[in-house]
């Protein structure tokens, strides 16, 4: 069953706003009230895609990632990407997104945040958890196979040191 409010937002051309959770399009997460319920909106995006909007749904998702990167930084963009990855893994369904284009924009922002990641375990875990759903993200950040099973590194571990680098991850 779909959420009529979210489906109307999509029909009204507000998919990006709904995915980003901006203004009146913010839906509090059930558990973490201060966070936007991205999982719910991603599920609704797939329902909307099934009603003949497959390409539009993919474009809205990519535009939302780009918008979050531009306006709010890499963490909200990673959280949206993570929500998509969880949905993809749970349902076996994908949108025709250009993952390489998304990563082309996202990876440099994550690398720039190296010092922040070194200090902030929550952010480090977000990067590692998201990379578990997107192997190419893991590869581009130099995390390798060791962290493909979503184990989080301890501060000072090899994965932690790779994330701290601001240039090449080799």
Number of domains in the chain: 2
Model confidence pLDDT, tens digit, residues 11-42: 999 999 999 998 898 787 666 556 667 888 99
Task: Give the domain extent around 170.
Answer: 99-170
Residues 105 and 128 in one domain: yes
Residues 51 and 86 in one domain: yes
Residues 1 and 84 in one domain: yes
Nearest to 56 by CA among 95, 103, 1: 95
Residues 6 and 88 in one domain: yes
State the Cα–Cα distance between residues 103 and 110, nearest whole angstrom: 10
Residues 10 and 86 in one domain: yes
52 contacts 63 by C-beta, under 8 angstroms: no
- Residue after which a domain boundary falls, among 69, 97, 125: 97
Residues 117 and 90 in one domain: no
Model confidence pLDDT, tens digit, residues 61-74: 999 999 999 999 89
pLDDT at 1: 81
Query: Each residue's pLDDT tens digit in the chain (170 positions)?
Result: 888 999 999 999 999 999 999 889 878 766 655 666 788 899 999 999 999 999 999 999 999 999 999 999 899 999 999 999 999 999 999 999 999 999 999 999 999 988 888 899 999 999 999 999 999 999 998 876 554 444 434 444 444 444 443 333 33
Residues 75 and 43 in one domain: yes
pLDDT at 143: 79
Rounded to two decimals, what is the model's pTM? 0.80
């Amino acid at each position: 069953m779909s959420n009529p409010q979210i489906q109307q937002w999509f029909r009204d051309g507000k998919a990006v706003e709904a995915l980003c959770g901006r203004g009146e399009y913010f839906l509090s997460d059930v558990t973490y009230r201060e966070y936007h319920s991205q999982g719910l909106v991603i599920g609704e995006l797939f329902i909307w895609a099934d009603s003949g909007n497959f390409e539009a749904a993919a474009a809205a998702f990519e535009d939302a990632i780009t918008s979050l990167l531009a306006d709010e930084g890499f963490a909200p963009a990673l959280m949206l990407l993570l929500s998509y990855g969880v949905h993809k893994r749970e349902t076996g369904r994908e949108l025709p997104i250009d993952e390489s284009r998304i990563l082309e924009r996202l990876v440099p922002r994550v690398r720039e945040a190296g010092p922040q990641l070194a200090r902030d375990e929550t952010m480090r875990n977000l990067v590692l958890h998201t990379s578990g759903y997107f192997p190419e993200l893991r590869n581009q950040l130099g995390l390798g196979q060791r962290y493909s099973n979503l184990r989080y590194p301890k501060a000072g571990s090899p994965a932690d040191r790779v994330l701290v680098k601001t240039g090449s991850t080799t």
